[in-house]
Amino acid sequence: MTISDGETDPALGTNRRYSDSIDRDLAKAHLTRVAAAGQLETLTTAELQLDAVARTVDPVPKPVRAWVRFGGEPTLVYAEACMWTPRAVAIRFKIGEREYRCWVWASAVEALSE
């Protein structure tokens, strides 16, 4: 399991003195490798059905944690929810300097306190 922005799989060992810094660096490096190895997947037009369901556009995107896939590799990222329907959420997030945008199922998104 990959987690961006400083969280790692609890199965990994840590260095007590520098654990936060090391964990954050490892997570960023892994996320960069995953993003480079595959294309970001997004929901299809048929799955979204944007012409048949109401959607909400938020002028102030909300912080979330969401599962995305790069070339089939599931990865947990910190993102912003920009738009949503009852079943799907449009998110944006950065890896390094590059911004990514995609639609994911609502069940793959967890709201974070601001």
How does pLDDT run along the chain (114 residues), one tens digit per residue?
Answer: 445 555 545 555 555 555 556 667 777 888 888 888 899 999 999 999 999 999 999 999 999 999 999 998 899 999 999 999 999 999 999 998 999 999 999 999 999 986
Number of domains in the chain: 1
Residue 30 lies in a domain: no
Strands 109-111 and 98-105, by their bridges, are unpaired
Residue 29 lies in a domain: no
Residue 65 lies in a domain: yes
Residue 32 lies in a domain: no
Residue 34 lies in a domain: no
Residue 94 lies in a domain: yes
Question: Tokens in use for 60?
Answer: 């102030």
Residue 86 lies in a domain: yes
106 vs 88: CA distance, rounded Å:
4
Question: Which domain covers residue 106, as residue numbers?
Answer: 45-111
pLDDT value of residue 31: 87
Residue 105 lies in a domain: yes
Q: CA–CA distance from 65 to each of 17, 25, 29, 50 (Å)?
A: 27, 18, 18, 23
- For residue 1, the SS3 value is coil
